[in-house]
Homo-oligomer: A and B are copies of this chain.
Amino acid sequence: MRTLPYQDLGFAKIDHHRPLRTGSPEVVMGKGKRPDQVAPIVASLSGRGHPVLVTKTDIATYEAVLVDTPSATYNDLAKAIVVAGDNPLPAREGLLVVTAGTSDLPIAEEASLTAGLIMGAPATRISDVGVAGLHRLIDCLPQIQSAKVLILVAGMEAALVSVVAGLVSVPVVAVPTSVGYGSSFEGLAALLGMLNSCAPGVAVVNIDNGFGAGYLAAQILRSGSGITE
C-alpha cells in the first residue's frame, strides 16, 4: 500500500490513486482552505485530467484558481468551482434529486454537481415538494417511483423523507440542511428526523453535505449498473 501514487505539495498530498481505489477522484472542500492553497490543488488535479470540484468556496478563491486553471467555472448557486475532466464518464441514469423547499436548492445543486461531474451520474430534479402541500408531492409520485435512487434534501423537520421512503422500493439518500431557525438548531432537527425515520431504507449524510449525498447515490447507482470502477 505504501507505494500507491500521490503528489506532495507540502501543505497537501494529492491522492492521485483514489480513482483506482474508490472509483472517483478527490473532491476538495473549500471551507477552511486559503485561495493560495486551493489554486495549486486544483491545478494538480486538473493537470492529471481529473474532473475537479471545489465545494463550499467563494469568488475570491475562484479568482485565484483561474490564474493557473483558466477552464474553471464558478457555480454561484452551489458556491462551487468546477473543472471538467479530460474523459467523459459513462453516464448512468436513474438519479433524482428532490428538495423540500426553495431554500434547500444550494445543497441540491452541490449533490447534482458531484454526481454528474465527478461520478458520471447526471441527476434530474424536483423542487419544493415539502409535505405541507402533499398534493404537490403526490403529483410527482410517478416520477419519484421510477427513479433508481433518490436524494432528498430537506431542512426544518424533514418529514418529506419518511413519507417518500414509505412509498418507494429504492434507497433514499437523505441530506439534512441547515434551513430553518430557532429550534432547528442549524439542521439538528432535520438530522434527527432523518435518523429516526419510521420508514426504513434511508441513508443519512451530514448536515448540508450535498457532496456526500451525490457521491453515495452515484455509488449505489454504479453498483446497480454493474459497473464498479
Q: Is the CB of B219 within 8 A of A212?
A: no
What is the CA–CA distance of A136 and B151 in the complex, to the nearest angstrom?
A: 25
Contact flag A133-B206 (CB < 8 Å), given A156-B196, A226-B224: no
Q: Is the CB of B157 within 8 A of A193?
A: yes
Across the interface, name the chain B residue whose C-beta is closest to A186. Answer: B182
A188 to chain B, nearest CB (A): 7
Across the interface, name the chain B residue whose C-beta is closest to A148. Answer: B223
Across the interface, name the chain B residue whose C-beta is closest to A163. Answer: B131
How many chain A residues touch B (CB < 8 A): the figure is 106
| Copy total for this chain | 8
What is the CA–CA distance of A41 and B132 in the complex, to the nearest angstrom?
A: 17
Across the interface, name the chain B residue whose C-beta is closest to A103. Answer: B32
A173 to chain B, nearest CB (A): 7
**Known contacts A191-B195, A192-B192, then 10 further A-B pairs from the complex at CB < 8 Å, ordered by chain A residue:** A4-B139, A17-B135, A24-B169, A132-B199, A182-B196, A201-B216, A202-B212, A203-B203, A203-B216, A223-B224
